[in-house]
Structure 1
Amino acid sequence: MRNYLDLGQVRVIAGKEFSDRIRNRWVLAVAIIFSLFALAIAYFGSAQQGSVGFKGVDVTIASLVSLVIYLVPLIALILGYDAIVGERERGSMDLLLSMPITRFEILLGKFLGLAAALAVSTALGFGAGLLPISGGVESKDLYHYAGFVLSATLMGMAFLSLSMLVSVVSTDRIRASGVAIGLWFFFVLIFDLLLTGALVLSDGSLGSGVFGALLMLNPADVFRLLNIFSSEQVQNMYGLATVMPDRLTSPAVLGAVMAAWIVVPFLIARWRFR
Structure 2
Amino acid sequence: MEAAQIFTIARKELRDRLRNRWVLAVALVFTVLAIVIAYFGGAQQGAVGLRSIEFTIASLVSLVIYLIPLIALLLGFDAIVGERERGSLNLLLSLPITRPELLLGKYLGLAAALTISTLGGFGLVALLLAGQIGAAGLVPYAGFMASSVLLGLAFLSLAVMLSVLATDRTRASGLAIGLWFFFVLVFDLLLLGALVATGGQAGAAWFPYLLLFNPADVFRVLNVFSLDDVRTLYGLSSIVPAALAKPWLMGLVMLGWIAAPLGIASWRFRP
TMscore range, shorter length:
over 0.9
1:230, distance to aligned residue in structure 2 (A): 0.4
* Equivalent runs, 1:162-201 vs 2, <5 Å: 162-201=158-197
1:140, distance to aligned residue in structure 2 (A): 3.6
Matched residue, 1:45: 41
> Within 2, Cα distance between the matches of 1:6 and 1:34?
35
Matched residue, 2:31: 35
The list of structure 1 runs, each at least 4 consecutive aligned residues, that deviate by more than 3 angstroms after superposition, is 206-209
1:255, distance to aligned residue in structure 2 (A): 0.7
Could you state the TM-score of these two structures normalised by the residue count of structure 1?
Answer: 0.96
After alignment, is 123-132 or 69-78 more displaced?
A: 123-132
Does the aligned pair in 2 maintain the 1:79–1:160 contact within 8 Å? Answer: yes
In the alignment, structure 1 residue 159 sits paired with structure 2 residue 155:
yes
1:206, distance to aligned residue in structure 2 (A): 3.6
- 3-state SS in 2 of match to 1:261: helix
* Equivalent runs, 1:82-97 vs 2, <5 Å: 82-97=78-93
Equivalent residue letter for 1:178: G
> Within 1, Cα distance between the matches of 2:175 and 2:50?
39
In the alignment, structure 1 residue 220 sits paired with structure 2 residue 231:
no
1:204, distance to aligned residue in structure 2 (A): 1.7
* Equivalent runs, 1:1-274 vs 2, <5 Å: 5-274=1-270
> Within 2, Cα distance between the matches of 1:169 and 1:141?
44
Equivalent residue letter for 1:86: G
> Within 2, Cα distance between the matches of 1:195 and 1:118?
30
> Within 2, Cα distance between the matches of 1:198 and 1:167?
32
Equivalent residue letter for 1:256: L
1:119, distance to aligned residue in structure 2 (A): 0.4
Query: What stretches of structure 1 of length at least 5 have no aligned partner?
Result: none
String of CA shifts for 1:94-127, please: whole Å, max 9, x gaps: 0011111000000000000000100000000000
Query: What stretches of structure 2 of length at least 5 have no aligned partner?
Result: none
> Within 2, Cα distance between the matches of 1:144 and 1:241?
18
1:130, distance to aligned residue in structure 2 (A): 3.6
> Within 2, Cα distance between the matches of 1:8 and 1:141?
40
- 3-state SS in 2 of match to 1:212: helix
What is the root-mean-square deviation of aligned Cα atoms in Å?
1.0
Equivalent residue letter for 1:109: G
> Within 2, Cα distance between the matches of 1:45 and 1:237?
13
> Within 2, Cα distance between the matches of 1:152 and 1:212?
21
1:196, distance to aligned residue in structure 2 (A): 0.4
Does the aligned pair in 2 maintain the 1:35–1:130 contact within 8 Å? Answer: no
